[in-house]
């Protein structure tokens, strides 16, 4: 079965690739290992020079790379170009900071000299998703390469051209052949790659079932794994909040990337007297979003990445409505389809939707809605808001809007999440660690923590 790139706006096939054979996979792993034996000896200053060149390459090609992402997975072109710029940022960040992050860490012991030295592990496997086809990869690859590891990329099968382009960026920047390699393989081929003794660890961003499968294989072979999985992030708004700012941020937080982001705000939890105004403001903001061809500069919302994602989201919304929820705006695929140009009617488009008055027991309680659908809940007080926010199995990010200092402290301490943003939408930043708890995964990407995930913190004792 081929690995196929399909334009989600039109359903047209762009390109098809044959998966690597077992022999070709063996050659790639062997090359990655041979390269590591030499690459690990390069000075961090040399790696930094190459990483800066990678950032320059991204910046120079941002228009073409952005268009490639839009064609393969459907995000608006302006968002895709911004993603490339963010990738350049993370490359420059690690190019500039890694020497400090990797510096020997002194320890006071009974030795004449003792310290911790941070050394690379070897060949790493990265299993990456389609929703941020460049960012997810670069935020994993930049620290891994700066630490002296080499990397094999198994990208999502619907973005093969992005995967190929990423390898080219690192190659053109001067990294040694084999330092970063794209493996065009299917999901069934991941297990034997991870089982290979030369592959030392794995990082995965994706779904819960995919994470569980990869983590199980890694555990079986006693290898470290890092998982960044799904989320059902709460967005809590209290009576003291800046309501205008909260509504504007809520729209962005839910609709960014066509609503297909693990850290998108998905459950909007409203406390007290602001509920009516917030619901109406959010519905009004969703109603004016333009849905259409993501290559058009004035389009706000493009298609979902695959027909399967569209079908699942539509069914989740229909189930909620059948159980008594109310659609303040959107919720009907047929109405949207009739409004689209003929060439887009085979695309995976879903209307921006706000569901309110959601009764208990619907999919909104525990499931992640991966698309432009906001779920609105009303609660009586902060205690109830925190309880509802923590009621899911996920724990990736959380946003809380309040100007009350005591409430802020409660949200920081009591919301079960890997990140809490007060009066701001949840986002990833190269300077801060990123990751979740509970079913949202474990380990941290980005910041110093992200670089140290895949190193050997070696104890050195000298007398």
Q: Can you tell me the distance from the alpha carbon of 74 to that of 348, in angstroms, rounded to the nearest whole number?
A: 9
Of 97, 228, 312, 407, the active-site residue reads 228
Residue 412 lies in a domain: yes
Tell me, yes or no, whether 268 and 180 share the same domain: no
Question: Mean pLDDT across the stretch 26-43?
Answer: 98
Note the pLDDT of residue 190.
Answer: 97
Report pLDDT for 80. Answer: 98
Per-residue pLDDT for 155 more than 90? Answer: yes
User: Active-site residue 228, yes or no?
Assistant: yes
Please write down the long-range contacts of 221-224, taking CB distance under 8 Å and 24 or more positions apart.
221/194, 221/195, 221/197, 223/194, 223/199, 224/121, 224/200, 224/453, 224/454
Extract long-range pairs of 205-213: CB within 8 Å, 24+ residues apart: 205/127, 205/128, 205/129, 205/136, 205/140, 205/229, 205/262, 206/127, 206/128, 206/129, 206/156, 208/439, 210/127, 211/441
- Give yes or no: residues 384 and 456 share one domain: no
Domain containing 243 — which CATH number? 3.40.309.10
Please report, for the domain that includes residue 47, its CATH number. 3.40.605.10
Q: Is there a single domain that holds both residue 160 and residue 136?
A: yes
Instruction: Please give the average per-residue pLDDT across 209-215, as a whole number.
Output: 97
**Do 151 and 242 lie in a common domain?**
no
Same domain, 110 and 152: yes
245 vs 53, 79, 93, 253, 413, CA distance in Å? 38, 21, 30, 12, 23
Q: Is the pLDDT of residue 341 over 70?
A: yes
Residue 243, in any domain of the structure: yes
List the Cα angle 205/25/3 in 5-degree steps.
Answer: 60
Regarding whether 288 and 156 lie in a shared domain, the answer is no
Kindly state whether residues 218 and 242 are assigned to the same domain: no
83 with 214, same domain? yes
- One domain for residues 318 and 242: yes
Structurally, the chain folds into a number of domains equal to 2
Residue 435 has pLDDT above 70, yes or no: yes
Structural domain includes residue 435 = no
Domain that holds residue 335: 233-429
Q: Is residue 434 part of a domain?
A: no
Average pLDDT rounded to a whole number, residues 18-25: 97
Across the range 186-196, mean pLDDT stands at 96
In a domain, 267, yes or no: yes
Are 219 and 251 in a shared domain?
no
Given the residues 87, 91, 162, 262, select the one marked as catalytic. Answer: 262
Same domain, 274 and 223: no
For residue 368, being part of any structural domain is answered with yes
Whether 407 sits among the annotated catalytic residues: the reply is no
- Is residue 1 predicted with pLDDT exceeding 90? no
What does the pLDDT read at residue 2?
Answer: 85
258 and 167 belong to one structural domain: no
Which of the four pLDDT bands, split at 50, 70 and 90, describes residue 30?
Answer: very high
- 313, 371 in Cβ contact below 8 A? yes
């Amino acid at each position: 079965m081929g690995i196929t790139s399909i334009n989600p706006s039109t359903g047209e096939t762009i390109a098809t690739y044959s998966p690597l054979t077992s022999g070709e996979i063996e050659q790639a792993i062997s090359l990655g290992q041979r390269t590591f034996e030499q690459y690990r000896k390069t000075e961090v200053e040399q790696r930094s020079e190459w990483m800066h060149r990678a950032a320059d390459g991204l910046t120079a090609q941002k228009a073409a790379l952005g268009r490639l992402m839009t064609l393969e997975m459907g995000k608006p072109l302006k968002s895709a170009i911004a993603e490339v710029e963010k990738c350049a940022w993370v490359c420059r960040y690690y190019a500039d900071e890694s020497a400090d992050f990797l510096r020997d860490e002194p320890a006071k012991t009974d030795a004449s000299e003792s310290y911790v030295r941070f050394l690379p592990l070897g060949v790493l496997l990265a299993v990456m998703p389609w929703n941020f086809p460049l960012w997810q990869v670069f935020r994993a690859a930049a620290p891994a390469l700066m630490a002296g590891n080499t990397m094999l990329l198994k990208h999502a099968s619907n973005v093969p051209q992005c995967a190929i382009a990423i390898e080219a960026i690192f190659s053109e920047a001067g990294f040694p052949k084999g330092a970063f390699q794209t493996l065009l393989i299917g999901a069934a081929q991941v297990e034997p790659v991870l089982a290979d003794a030369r592959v030392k660890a794995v990082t995965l961003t994706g779904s819960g079932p995919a994470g569980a499968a990869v983590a199980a294989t890694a555990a079986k072979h006693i290898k470290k794994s890092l998982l960044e999985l799904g989320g059902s992030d709460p967005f809590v708004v209290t009576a003291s909040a800046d309501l205008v700012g909260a509504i504007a941020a809520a729209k962005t937080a839910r609709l960014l990337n066509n609503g297909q982001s693990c850290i998108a705000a998905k459950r909007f939890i409203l406390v007290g007297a602001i509920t009516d105004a917030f619901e109406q403001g959010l519905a009004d903001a969703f109603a004016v979003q333009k849905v259409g061809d993501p290559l058009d500069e004035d389009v706000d919302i493009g298609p979902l990445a695959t027909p399967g994602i569209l079908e699942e989201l539509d069914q989740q919304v229909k189930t909620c409505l059948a159980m008594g929820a109310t659609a303040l705006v959107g919720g009907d695929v047929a109405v949207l389809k009739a409004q689209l140009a003929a060439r887009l009617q085979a695309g995976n488009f879903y209307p921006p939707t706000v569901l309110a008055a959601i009764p208990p027991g619907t999919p909104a309680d525990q499931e992640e809605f991966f698309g432009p659908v906001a779920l609105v809940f009303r609660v009586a007080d902060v205690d109830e808001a925190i309880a509802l926010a923590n009621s899911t199995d996920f724990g990736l990010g959380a946003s809380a809007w309040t100007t009350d200092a005591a409430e802020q402290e409660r949200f920081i301490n009591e919301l079960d999440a890997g990140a809490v943003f007060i009066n701001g939408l949840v986002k990833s930043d190269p300077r801060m660690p990123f990751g979740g708890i509970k079913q949202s995964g474990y380990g941290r990407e980005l910041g110093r923590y992200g670089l140290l995930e895949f190193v050997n913190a070696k104890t050195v004792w000298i007398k």
